[in-house]
Amino acid sequence: MSRIIVVDDDQGTTSLVKMLLEMEGYSVATFNSVQSVLEEAGNGVSAFIIDCYLGKKASGIDLLRSVRVHHNRAVKEAPVIMVSGDGRVESEARAAGADHFMLKPYSPNDLSREVKALIEGRASRRQEQE
């Protein structure tokens, strides 16, 4: 079962995204701050969904940078969807290593479709490398 980690400081958003993705058959872990995210990701992760602004001066983009240099290859290579209500941060998110950027509010169907495409794309790249 694919495991998604969702990091967003808005509890309503994380609850809705968790419910949507679980209905799609994913296992979902949610966080409202950067604390423990990378430690939890080390237990297995298929993809991340990270909000650019996490409140309390925490940065989702900084978290993404930490993901991309993580010592665990599976964590480092996991696809990342960055989300934000501010479209001006898209280029910064992509430069930090985001695979996809979604502007809030986004369609739940669009999110689900992107998660599936990124996870399937990663799986096919792994098969090609073997």
pLDDT, tens digit, 9 for 90 and up, residues 74-92: 899 999 999 999 999 999 9
DSSP state of 51: E
Residue with tokens 């790249």: 125
For residue 14, what pLDDT band results from cuts at 50, 70 and 90?
Answer: very high
Query: pTM for the complete prediction?
Result: 0.91
pLDDT of 8 higher than 90:
yes
Per-residue pLDDT at 20 = 95
Residue with tokens 């992760």: 45
Question: What's the N-to-C CA distance of the chain in angstroms?
Answer: 21
H or E element at residue 126: helix 108-129
Burial 60-97 (b: 16+ CB within 10 A, else e): bbebbebbeebeeeebeebbbbbbbeeeebbebbeebe
Q: How many CB atoms lie within 10 A of CB 41?
A: 22
Task: Give the span between the Cα atoms of 25 and 27, in whole angstroms.
Answer: 7
Task: Give the span between the Cα atoms of 2 and 29, in whole angstroms.
Answer: 11
